[in-house]
Amino acid sequence: MDTIKIWKVVNTDSQQMDDVVAREAPLTLFVNDIELVTLLCTPADFKDLAVGFLYSEGVISGVDDLARISVNASKGIVWITLGDGVAFSEEEYHRGRAVTSGCARGQTFAHLADKLALPPLDTQHRFSIDQIYGLVKQLQTGGDGGSLYERTGCVHVAMLFDGDKILVFREDIGRHNAVDKVVGYSVIHGIDCSDKAIMVTGRLSSEMVMKAARLGIPLVVSRTAPTSSALKIADEAGMTLVGFARGRRMNIYSHPYRILENNNINE
Amino acid sequence: MDTIKIWKVVNTDSQQMDDVVAREAPLTLFVNDIELVTLLCTPADFKDLAVGFLYSEGVISGVDDLARISVNASKGIVWITLGDGVAFSEEEYHRGRAVTSGCARGQTFAHLADKLALPPLDTQHRFSIDQIYGLVKQLQTGGDGGSLYERTGCVHVAMLFDGDKILVFREDIGRHNAVDKVVGYSVIHGIDCSDKAIMVTGRLSSEMVMKAARLGIPLVVSRTAPTSSALKIADEAGMTLVGFARGRRMNIYSHPYRILENNNINE
């Protein structure tokens, strides 16, 4: 966080004062000595971000694919060496990336799941309404009152939730980065996500739901809205999607059985 | 916009009802018959988006670089043929892109401006406080009450403003896409942006400010916050950055002379 001078204008009065803004910095990721990508991000949790990015993009399938990780936080560089058996070429990555980005191209989830090596969601785990309200509440308190989210209004949050407490709380100026930081943490620590939920502040586009699907997370909660493609993927994958979760309200978009009692589902 | 069934939960009561979500669709962009990128976007204004993307990425410098544009809206494909003298190779694009994305890497604006062929901002044009409040007001009315922004809560808006009226109002599920649609429209129609402002709903990261700088727009207004890198670029480029513009309030982050009278600047 940086402290800066701003001019605050209310009606026609202006006043100069101090304010804080979120820091934005580049993270350059080298894979097997190839410079792969430079992400503009909140300069924290570089290791989580790098590993989560590679996992979400399908370059690695898990922590076992990583031979060595080296982080230079002050320079914003992460070097990752893949294990001996892990195939990687820069050209294929760029080709593959276009396909991944276009994953909503009218393809079914089954087809996508095949292409991106997505595991079928193998859990009937449920959450109570109160557990979700508890999760929403922890968005505000998760940073212990000192989060960038509250102080700058300029970052997105992603949190992994076990029904009771927040296991990982990550912030980033980019909503994809925030989720990738949670993904990376989960991959590095081998967390079983089949009974976890992820909550994000950002909109749920198809790519956000794909990231959660790849981790096998059955419940995705957002403060804001999903897109039509996100709903389609969640529906086919058997994931429960919740949007506009604020205070003691939410909208459930798919597979409500995971939250609602049976007798409420078909009202 | 798609109509869907949702389960609305308030406290512990749930009710099934109809709701609307923003549609998300892929746009695949071919340049000189090379498949360059697939963007996930709101399926409208494909031509603006394609041209704006190429301009923001530095592939084209203006409408004169375009020989032919062909759009298949139902398939989500845009084919662009560049003019004879316009250099383009896929490899250089991918290499160049990493550099562009990492543009905040401690480089000065002068250096970046050089690299990305950014024109120096050549305008002392000013806006009044009331003009900006008028702009903010038009965010709500710009879509004539039928905008996706108001109805889905799931899209970003970008608008080009001449001090009096909105010249272009564009929406997209991606904040970069929304701005690129305005950029593309401006490039296609040869709009002189030196006395215009752009307003966006999304956060101002460095890339958003770079897009505006490339068009020579002197004033960038956002409903939300800028990052530290966005401020740095705006400061060096001589652009006025306004954040948290809501109702009759705003924060001015750089070059306040463009909005405030001299005697208010150093209070």
| Confidence check: pLDDT of A105 > 60 | no
Contact A250 B9 (CB under 8 A): yes
* A25-115: CATH topology: Ubiquitin-like (UB roll) (3.10.20)
Question: Among all residues of chain B, which has the CA nearest to that of A172?
Answer: B227
Q: What is the mean pLDDT of residues B148-174?
A: 88
Predicted confidence band of residue B209 (pLDDT cuts 50, 70, 90): very high
Q: Where are the domains of chain B?
A: 25-115, 129-265
Whole-number pLDDT of residue B168: 95
Q: What is the mean pLDDT of residues B94-100?
A: 53
Contact B251 A25 (CB under 8 A): no
Query: Does B129-265 match B25-115 at the fold level?
Result: no
Nearest chain B CA: its distance from A147 CA (Å): 15
pLDDT digits (tens, 9 = 90+) for A64-101: 999 999 999 999 999 999 999 898 887 777 765 544 44
pLDDT digits (tens, 9 = 90+) for A187-205: 999 999 999 999 999 889 8
B contacts of A96 (beta carbons < 8 Å):
none
Nearest to A205 among B2, B24, B94 (CB): B24
Contact B7 A37 (CB under 8 A): no
Nearest chain B CA: its distance from A12 CA (Å): 7
| Confidence check: pLDDT of B52 > 90 | yes
Whole-number pLDDT of residue B90: 79
Least confident window among A93-97, B117-121, B181-185, B257-261? A93-97
Whole-number pLDDT of residue B111: 64
A contacts of B152 (beta carbons < 8 Å):
225
Nearest to B101 among A16, A40, A253 (CB): A40
CA–CA gap between residue A67 and residue A65 (Å, rounded): 7
Predicted confidence band of residue B144 (pLDDT cuts 50, 70, 90): low
pLDDT digits (tens, 9 = 90+) for A152-191: 777 899 999 999 999 999 999 888 999 999 999 999 999 9
Q: How many beta-carbon pairs below 8 A join chains A and B?
A: 197
Residue of B178 and B87 predicted with greater confidence = B178
Q: What is the mean pLDDT of residues B3-25?
A: 91
Q: What is the mean pLDDT of residues A26-51?
A: 92
Predicted confidence band of residue A37 (pLDDT cuts 50, 70, 90): confident
Contact B253 A4 (CB under 8 A): yes
| Confidence check: pLDDT of B93 > 60 | yes
Q: What is the mean pLDDT of residues B221-239?
A: 92
Whole-number pLDDT of residue A92: 72
Predicted confidence band of residue A43 (pLDDT cuts 50, 70, 90): very high
Whole-number pLDDT of residue A172: 92
Nearest to A38 among B4, B101, B264 (CB): B101
| Confidence check: pLDDT of A262 > 80 | no
Give the right CATH number for A129-265 from 3.40.140.10, 3.40.50.720, 3.30.470.20, 3.30.590.20: 3.40.140.10
Q: What is the mean pLDDT of residues B187-197?
A: 97
State the DSSP code for B65. G
Q: Tell me the CB-side half-sphere exposure of residue B147, using CA atoms within 13 A.
A: 22
Maximal C-alpha separation, chain B:
65
Nearest to B225 among A154, A225, A227 (CB): A154
A contacts of B228 (beta carbons < 8 Å):
2, 4, 21-24
Residue of A207 and A251 predicted with greater confidence = A251
Question: Among all residues of chain A, which has the CA nearest to that of B5?
Answer: A253
Least confident window among A67-71, A128-132, B116-120? B116-120
Contact B40 A205 (CB under 8 A): yes
First-last CA distance in chain B: 48
Whole-number pLDDT of residue A140: 74
CA–CA gap between residue A179 and residue A186 (Å, rounded): 11
B contacts of A77 (beta carbons < 8 Å):
none
Nearest chain B CA: its distance from A168 CA (Å): 24
User: Annotated catalytic residue: which of A41, A103, A154, A193?
Assistant: A103
Contact B24 A250 (CB under 8 A): no
B contacts of A44 (beta carbons < 8 Å):
none
Whole-number pLDDT of residue B219: 98
Whole-number pLDDT of residue A120: 77
- B19-33, B176-190, B251-265 — most confident range: B176-190
B contacts of A226 (beta carbons < 8 Å):
21, 154
Contact B101 A252 (CB under 8 A): no
Whole-number pLDDT of residue B104: 43
Contact A202, A224 (CB under 8 A): yes
Contact B102 A11 (CB under 8 A): no
Whole-number pLDDT of residue B167: 95
Check if A154 is active-site. no
Nearest to B154 among A28, A39, A203 (CB): A203
| Percentage above 70 pLDDT, chain A | 87
